[in-house]
Structure 1
Amino acid sequence: MDLVNVSPEILVFLFMAAFLAGFLDTLAGGGGLIVLPALIISGIPPLLALGTNKLQGTMGTATASVMMLRSRKVRWDEIRYPMFLAFLGSAAGTIAVQFINTELLVFVIPLVLVCIAAYFILSPLIQSQQSGARISSQNYRRFIVPVIGWYDGMFGPGTGSFFAVAGVSLRGMNLIDATANAKTLNFATNFASLLIFLIAGKVVWLAGLIMMVGQFAGAWGGSKCLLSIHPNYLRILVVTMCLAMLGKYALTIGWIG
């Protein structure tokens, strides 16, 4: 995409979208479901939108990851191997998306939102205390983490929520710890995907760099809130964000209205 076609008004719009996405993504996931439609609405083709989304999203997840590691909500010696597997899964998914019809996004994104919202509404496992793990740590790392990573490389929106849901439902983590771990895993998947998109030349640099600034500011604020937010409020926020984004996305693509 020719950079001169990105008007100042669009850049301001994208900056604000990135700030909001960075803040909410750190708390509840789904920031990509704010940014990706914003990029497409701005006239950026799907593959370029996916690549630019990874450029700005990497800044947000990197900021949140550093905050989680510095606050010791996440331990490097425990998370580095899952991050590596998430990286590999995402790289494979990003390579695959170069060869498929990106119109599949129209169907995948709403399905992701419905599944996440339904889980957080209906599941009794979402609680402030840890519960029993359903699968071993080894199987979780070897199978679940790479699959979610592959999804992020292929599409992306909702990945942070997927990692958080998996941590709670499969590993018995409490919601705050699962969300903190999700930030580091999401950084690994974003970074892997970004590298592939950069090699393929699928990034709008001007828009992406400005959105990185918005992501940094939003993620920093969101990380501060995550360390003190009550788990029940976080649960409500996850459900609210999923339902709101579902309505916004349905309106954007013409399913309603």
Structure 2
Amino acid sequence: MSGLSPVAHGLLFLAGFAGGFIDAIAGGGGLITVPALLATGMPPQVALGTNKLQSSCGTAIAVWRYSKAGLTKSPGLWLAVALSFLASMAGAQAVSVLNKDLLKQLIPWLLAAVAIYTALNRRFGIDSGKQKMSPVIFAILFGIVIGFYDGFFGPGTGSFWTLATVALLGLDLKGATGYTKAANLASNLGSLAIFLSHGSVHFSAAGAMIGGQLIGARLGAGLVVRKGAGLIRPVFLAVVFAMTAKLLWDALAR
């Protein structure tokens, strides 16, 4: 692909900043970064691979910040991280073999259910709840399933992790965000390895976005540590509703 103009690199920096900020708080930064990459004219596969590289850097900063704040100590988390990494590689490899059409139709409705459940349950994630599943079983089940999904398709990965950790592990939204980001980083890196092996990454575009990501992710993670669930819940709801609307619009447009 031909080189991008300085203006394009500047706009990608801003998109990386906005995506990193939103992603660190509630996930869904790809709603900003993927369209920005596609707007440069790069092929969809390269846009997705480039997005995985730049978002991995921002997510790594958020995970580091959450780790320092003690939000990555949940039992079973590092098993979920390891399995998410491996499963996402399998998911990325399966893209060329399996049909995504069913997921494209199903995921918007699942995300809508997440949004409605969260909106109606006003205490969702405000306080720690009751643990309903063994952390090890949870890590094995969701590490494999959500990790594979992130490598294969991806939209809503963070939302599904957040809902699962609050509902089944009893974490509050602050702890759920730390768990989600660590697992999400692993699946990003696993699928990124596959994109790199296929040459589907635009490095200069990724470099511009990484600069913005690092700043945005650090600011967003800092706000989560200071503000907690009071900040996360409204941003989480806004992101899930926006992602649902976008995916439904894409489905109707097709």
TM-score (normalizing by structure 2): 0.89
2:240 matches 1:239: no
The equivalent of 1:67 in structure 2 is: 65
CA, structure 1 residues 103+19, in 2 after alignment: closer, same or farther (shift >3 Å)? farther
Instruction: Write out per-residue CA displacement over residues 188-209 of structure 1, whole angstroms, 9 at most, x where no aligned residue.
Output: 1111111111011111111111
2:28 matches 1:23: no
Of 132, 146, 158, the residue aligned with 1:134 is 132
Contact 2:76 2:136 in 1 (8 A): no
The equivalent of 1:170 in structure 2 is: 168
Q: Which moved more, 1:168-177 or 1:70-79?
A: 70-79
Instruction: Write out per-residue CA displacement over residues 99-143 of structure 1, whole angstroms, 9 at most, x where no aligned residue.
Output: 456777864664454233223113466132211122221220111
Q: Which moved more, 1:41-50 or 1:194-203?
A: 41-50
Contact 1:86 1:188 in 2 (8 A): yes
Instruction: Write out per-residue CA displacement over residues 153-194 of structure 1, whole angstroms, 9 at most, x where no aligned residue.
Output: 112232222211110011111111001111111111111111
CA, structure 1 residues 73+230, in 2 after alignment: closer, same or farther (shift >3 Å)? closer
CA, structure 1 residues 13+105, in 2 after alignment: closer, same or farther (shift >3 Å)? farther
Q: Distance in 2 between matches of 1:174 and 1:254?
A: 33
Contact 1:131 1:174 in 2 (8 A): yes
Code of the residue aligned with 1:119 in structure 2: it is Y
Task: State the SS of the aligned residue for 1:196.
Answer: helix
CA, structure 1 residues 47+218, in 2 after alignment: closer, same or farther (shift >3 Å)? same
Q: Distance in 2 between matches of 1:236 and 1:71?
A: 22
Instruction: Write out per-residue CA displacement over residues 217-244 of structure 1, whole angstroms, 9 at most, x where no aligned residue.
Output: 1100011001011413321111122223
The equivalent of 2:55 in structure 1 is: 57
Q: Distance in 1 between matches of 2:104 and 2:141?
A: 26
Code of the residue aligned with 1:40 in structure 2: it is L
2:211 matches 1:213: yes
Contact 1:24 1:30 in 2 (8 A): yes
Contact 2:161 2:180 in 1 (8 A): yes
Contact 2:88 2:188 in 1 (8 A): yes
Of 149, 154, 157, the residue aligned with 1:156 is 154
Q: Which moved more, 1:103-112 or 1:113-122?
A: 103-112
In the TM superposition, what is the alpha-carbon distance from 1:57 to its structure 2 partner?
0.8
Contact 1:92 1:153 in 2 (8 A): yes
CA, structure 1 residues 254+175, in 2 after alignment: closer, same or farther (shift >3 Å)? closer
In the TM superposition, what is the alpha-carbon distance from 1:248 to its structure 2 partner?
5.4
Contact 2:156 2:243 in 1 (8 A): no
Contact 1:128 1:175 in 2 (8 A): yes
Identity %: 38
Contact 1:23 1:215 in 2 (8 A): yes
Task: State the SS of the aligned residue for 1:227.
Answer: helix
CA, structure 1 residues 22+132, in 2 after alignment: closer, same or farther (shift >3 Å)? same
Of 178, 181, 184, the residue aligned with 1:183 is 181
Q: Distance in 2 between matches of 1:246 and 1:149?
A: 20
Q: Distance in 1 between matches of 2:35 and 2:113?
A: 19
Contact 2:16 2:212 in 1 (8 A): yes
The equivalent of 2:44 in structure 1 is: 46
Q: Which moved more, 1:63-72 or 1:111-120?
A: 111-120
Flag structure 1 segments of 5+ consecutive residues without an equivalent.
none
TM-score (normalizing by structure 1): 0.88
